[in-house]
Structure 1
């Protein structure tokens, strides 16, 4: 019990800051009711999306998104009076993450999923947890800046992402003749660039920087200055359980208001992270600072520009 109290101390502070110390979340929603009945909460994670959701050297899921979801689970243990609540972790990919949320397999998808209006038709999203932009990575000798620069060339992105959807749409609208290649995940897509099968890799800026930092010879690649799209990340949730979404949002908003999000952010984006001690040296964006000051769950890209 002493150990549990230590683990929950940050969550207790967040709940106090929110005025939720005595608040009883309704357990009549499907997710909360199932969690309370089974004693299990199911989290989806990405195996190789550093620094958000990935496996450490002991094959344990860790990362920024995982830490945020762990804070939610700590709050569940406290509010549902389930100190022994079990967390079941299921690996997901770009292709499987949203179907597993929609069909109820996952209570939370804790990875790198962009909240869009289209996706919100099939699932719900927490308040925004990170804001990034899509850009192009290419060899330093090419240094492509726009999709127009890639007319008639091969470009890779990851299957099931907003990046590949945008790439396909612009390619058709502008008749660029780009040959689209789909990687099964971000590391595979990057490998296709490294081996010369693609001339550029379109993906979220933070993920491109993460991949670049993890490989020998990363300095041989450059990321475009110009952003192509804005991507607000959020935790994926069931569309049919507003009570659970409200609970998740309250915990996240508490981290924002208490200022604890600053330390969490610094831990994953401005400090050496396991297992290799990579430091992305990415200061918090102005867009995310605005989200912290005024939490929102809007998918509208214009809000973040």
Structure 2
């Protein structure tokens, strides 16, 4: 088990080739020749992983307040590959709490090296950060009380809807409001837990976020008899692990990690661990893998001889 640190990845030609290899090895040992993120990791012997407190089963806290989840396990696999890349197999991990609102600045400003949450990879965000290969597919839906008659956008006329600040769901609800002229009162929570609590307290009529996160919150709070997830998808949200843009070497490490997991057929079992089987905290999501995600995982399989 990786040690972790907590805080609230011709003869002349032969001679020349040998010199180049030796020089590259020496540079990598000292951190020279590495991309900025990898050089910083090598220097401090620590990888900073950004985690979310209330995004089960992707990234959340267990009973001992330790960060766990599907996304964190993927990030830990990337850390192993980073260790091989920088020749430091004993890298430590420091977990850094982020929110939906500050996660992108945390990556851009170097406060975290990898963001291991439930972040949608889209063109707008790709202008600031880079993303791993696809790790999940979700979409905006609504959580409402069991007795609610809300099941479609038209049912939201004049209603109050909470979204979590800094999410793509916030943009999706403003788009829905404009498209159907609903006169929505859209309010924000600082994180998913606060948004959920506003629905519990009756302050809002619906909570809009990615469907899998809604199911995760209902499962975590054992509130299946109180709330339901309803309606058609109001957005399409492909998830990825976030890291700094403009570092091809780091991007190659992340890509290589996913391809190795795909080749070893580890991705589907890892998915099942968090979405189908009982989680370490005792809850069970029981959400089977989607055909789209399974196809994406199969595409990462390099066992047919495609080079990394």
Partner residue in 2 for 1:90:
96
Partner residue in 1 for 2:194:
188
Count of residues in Structure 1 that have an aligned counterpart in Structure 2: 274
- Conserved in 1, the CA contact under 8 Å of 2:49 and 2:95? yes
TM-score normalised to structure 1 length: 0.85
Q: CA deviation at 1:225?
A: 4.4
The 1:268/1:216 distance shift into structure 2, 3 A limit, reads closer
Partner residue in 1 for 2:72:
66
Partner residue in 1 for 2:62:
56
Larger radius of gyration: 2
**Whole-Å Cα distance in 2 between the matches of residues 56 and 120 of structure 1?**
31
Q: Which of the numbers 154, 177, 182 marks the counterpart of 1:176? A: 182
Residue deviations 1:229-269 (CA, integer Å, cap 9, x gap): 11111011101212101111110122123211111111101
Partner residue in 1 for 2:286:
281
User: Structure 2 stretches of 5 or more lacking a match?
Assistant: 3-24, 301-308
Q: CA deviation at 1:37?
A: 2.1
Partner residue in 2 for 1:210:
216
Partner residue in 1 for 2:38:
32
* Higher RCO (CA 8 Å, separation ≥ 6 residues): 1
1:159 and 2:154 matched: no
Q: CA deviation at 1:104?
A: 1.8
In structure 2, the residue corresponding to 1:136 is in which secondary structure?
A: strand
Q: Which moved more, 1:75-84 or 1:206-215?
A: 75-84
Residue deviations 1:277-298 (CA, integer Å, cap 9, x gap): 1000000011111211225xxx
TM-score normalised to structure 2 length: 0.84
In structure 2, the residue corresponding to 1:69 is in which secondary structure?
A: helix
**Whole-Å Cα distance in 1 between the matches of residues 201 and 89 of structure 2?**
49
Partner residue in 1 for 2:276:
270
- Conserved in 2, the CA contact under 8 Å of 1:143 and 1:223? no
Q: What root-mean-square deviation, in Å, do the aligned CA atoms of Structure 1 and Structure 2 show?
A: 1.9
Q: Which of the numbers 96, 121, 141 marks the counterpart of 1:115? A: 121
In structure 2, the residue corresponding to 1:152 is in which secondary structure?
A: coil
In structure 2, the residue corresponding to 1:73 is in which secondary structure?
A: helix
- Conserved in 1, the CA contact under 8 Å of 2:268 and 2:294? no
User: Structure 1 stretches of 5 or more lacking a match?
Assistant: 5-23, 296-305
